[in-house]
Amino acid sequence: MPGTQASSTTDFFNTVFQRREYLYELLIQHFVLSLTAILIIVVIGVGTGIALLRFKSLRQVVLGFVNFIYTIPSIAMFGLFIPLVGIGFVNALVVLVIYGLLPMIRNTYTGLSEVNPLYIDAAKGMGATPSQIFYRVRWPLAFPTILSGFRTMVVMTIALAGLASFIGAGGLGQAIYRGINTNNSSLILAGSISVALLALVTDLIIGVFEKRVRSRKLHSRRNRLFALFAALFFVLIPLLLFLFNGSRNQSERSSEIVVASKPTAEQYILGEIIARLIEEKTAIPVKRTFGIGGGTSNIHPALLSGEIDIYPEYTGTAWLFVLKEQKISNPDSLFSKLSDIYYKEYQLSWAARFGFNNTFTLALPEATAMAEGLTSISDLAPVSNRFTFGAEFDFFEREDGYPGLSELYSLEFRKVVELDINLKFNALENRTVDVINAFSTDSRIRQMKLRTLRDDKYYFPAYQAGIVVRNETLSRYPELRSLLAKLGNTIDDNTMLMLNYEVEINKKSPEKVAEEFLKSIGLIN
């Protein structure tokens, strides 16, 4: 046990050191997003709180509304705004602002409304104007309460910003999410600790400031300097970081292409292969937006709107989930028809097929399969009522997912559990579930010595991995067409399994694995 702990600690520090530039970039993204949201929340929240003090008829409506919004799960809110503002920074900013308004509005209104009326009457008796009463009496007395709400809001916003990576907005949550997706606990820990430290340091600074406000010691020279430092921290530093993060000139921003991926190790690798090849062989600036939650359901609309230029997709997913067409058994016929429809209806091109077929399968421990004599899904059907089945959420909604599978094979599992796509194998290992759906190139099938059941009724179609690109992007950069075509038929099933194994089991970064692969086939030096 001590040896295991020492090894885990070493892995953690190695991860932090090796990926320090990556983590630093995510820290800047997280800080800019959080502090931008905080500044907007303060302006709207304080302004609304003051308005509620003046307009009594609005109080119940506004406070009731923000309380209701607060009850909606944050992850759902990120998804709800995708059709309105797309994915990325703006989506995350809107959601963070909405969630941060409640403590600011409530504390501002409460602090201002609960000032002792005797002080107000005394000020009026001395001939003070309404504005003087507000700025010199009501506001100073309410400020400690407002500051307390501000402190709560800041910590909550920084923590909630960790979910921004779900919709491609970056931040430290991306390290956590990538760690989950690639089975890398050290990366999960690095991202989690970074978010916690950022929140704790910020809370500490506000706490010291709040303590001095409550003790009314802000008038000394030292405390005025402290107040100035706090102001710089919350206003100038995020502004400077924002300018630093956006230091590239506008022409470069407008010329960059965005390469996206779904939240799986395989998709990180394929996305990195595409991005690295473009960077090495062209002068086109590339922005990576990897690990977008929701996969195709969020990436495809973003591709159509122009927020994304390129991403790796699977033919079966595109045909059944996007186009909602009937299954086609022949993979070449499927690809031909799919390419034609994508080009004509969506102005998208399938630039190449990598060469491997990552189709669905059902997997379970080898010992269980041997004991029950299971080799195919048909064998599973008669005894399925003794097993618990686990799969990712969208598998229960897909045209090629659980409803059709269970109907065709007459599967009646004892219990069905919906899981995050990257937690299925953990659930199988912990015996929370007995059978899971899996992808045929998943390295954990090999690592955990699982048996995959033969799809003897040919329910699942071909899922050949390929590259989808906007036609507009190809028109702007015609050299991409021939460059991406070079990736065609470069990865077979076994090669993809081994690439996944390097990331998920041997803990190599997708960047390193992609680089080594491109060198091995001679596409980069």
Domain definitions of the chain by residue range: 19-245, 255-359+462-520, 360-453
Average pLDDT over the chain, rounded to an integer = 86
- Structural contact between residues 64 and 70, judged by C-beta atoms closer than 8 angstroms: no
Higher pLDDT, 77 or 310: 310
Q: Residue 509: pLDDT above 60?
A: yes
List beta partners, residue 260.
Answer: 289
User: Token pair for residue 121?
Assistant: 């009457």
Within 161-263, residue ranges assigned H as helices are: 173-181, 185-214, 221-231, 237-245, 250-255
- Summarize the confidence of residues 94-115 as an average pLDDT: 90
Q: Residue 245: pLDDT above 60?
A: no
Closest CA to 436 of 457, 415, 460: 415
Q: Residue 138: pLDDT above 50?
A: yes
Q: 266-276, pLDDT tens digit by residue?
A: 999 999 999 99
Closest CA to 503 of 485, 521, 492, 516: 516
Domains 19-245 and 360-453 alike in fold: no
Residues 6+ away with beta carbon under 8 Å from 304: 346, 348
Q: Mapping DSSP to helix (H, G, I), strand (E, B) and coil, where does residue 308 land? A: coil
Q: Mapping DSSP to helix (H, G, I), strand (E, B) and coil, where does residue 358 land? A: coil
Distance CA 424, CA 441 (A): 15
Instruction: Point out the least confidently predicted range of 152-156, 221-225, 303-307.
Output: 221-225
Provide the pLDDT confidence category of residue 304 given band limits of 50, 70 and 90.
Answer: very high
Q: What is the pLDDT of residue 435?
A: 96
Strand stretches in 318-408, DSSP E:
348-357, 360-365, 388-392
Q: Residue 338: pLDDT above 70?
A: yes
Percentage, residues of the chain above pLDDT 90:
40
Q: Residue 329: pLDDT above 80?
A: no
Provide the pLDDT confidence category of residue 129 given band limits of 50, 70 and 90.
Answer: confident
Q: What is the pLDDT of residue 251?
A: 45
Residues 6+ away with beta carbon under 8 Å from 217: 223
| C-alpha to C-alpha distances, 308 to 361, 464, 504, nearest whole angstrom | 30, 21, 26
- Summarize the confidence of residues 12-25 as an average pLDDT: 82
Provide the pLDDT confidence category of residue 360 given band limits of 50, 70 and 90.
Answer: confident
Provide the pLDDT confidence category of residue 336 given band limits of 50, 70 and 90.
Answer: very high
Q: What is the pLDDT of residue 54?
A: 84
Distance CA 367, CA 156 (A): 46
Q: Mapping DSSP to helix (H, G, I), strand (E, B) and coil, where does residue 157 land? A: helix
Q: Residue 319: pLDDT above 90?
A: yes
Q: What is the pLDDT of residue 168?
A: 76
Q: Residue 18: pLDDT above 90?
A: no
Distance CA 216, CA 264 (A): 53
- Summarize the confidence of residues 306-320 as an average pLDDT: 93
Which of the 8 DSSP states describes residue 414?
S
Q: What is the pLDDT of residue 252?
A: 46
SS percent in the chain: helix, strand, coil, step 5 = 65, 10, 25
Please give the full DSSP string across 477-498, using - where no structure is assigned. Answer: -THHHHHHHTTTT---HHHHHH
Residue 461 CA to chain centroid, in angstroms?
Answer: 28
User: Token pair for residue 439?
Assistant: 């992808």
Provide the pLDDT confidence category of residue 85 given band limits of 50, 70 and 90.
Answer: confident
Higher pLDDT, 65 or 5: 65
Q: What are residue 351's phi and psi, to 5 degrees?
A: -70, -30
Provide the pLDDT confidence category of residue 516 given band limits of 50, 70 and 90.
Answer: very high
Provide the pLDDT confidence category of residue 477 given band limits of 50, 70 and 90.
Answer: very high
Q: Does domain 255-359+462-520 have CATH number 3.40.50.720?
A: no
Q: Which residue has 């122009």 as its token pair?
A: 306
Topology classification of domain 19-245: MetI-like fold (1.10.3720)
Radius of gyration of the chain (CA): 27
Name the class of domain 360-453.
alpha beta
- Summarize the confidence of residues 318-335 as an average pLDDT: 89
- Summarize the confidence of residues 350-370 as an average pLDDT: 93
pTM of the prediction?
0.71
Count of all residues that appear for the chain in the document? 525
First to last CA, the chain: 43
Q: What is the pLDDT of residue 224?
A: 56
- Structural contact between residues 351 and 274, judged by C-beta atoms closer than 8 angstroms: no
- Summarize the confidence of residues 60-86 as an average pLDDT: 81
Distance CA 261, CA 269 (A): 9
Instruction: Give, for 435, the enclosing helix (H) or strand (E).
Output: strand 435-439
Higher pLDDT, 106 or 274: 274
Q: 423-448, pLDDT tens digit by residue?
A: 888 899 888 999 999 988 888 888 89
Q: Mapping DSSP to helix (H, G, I), strand (E, B) and coil, where does residue 361 land? A: strand
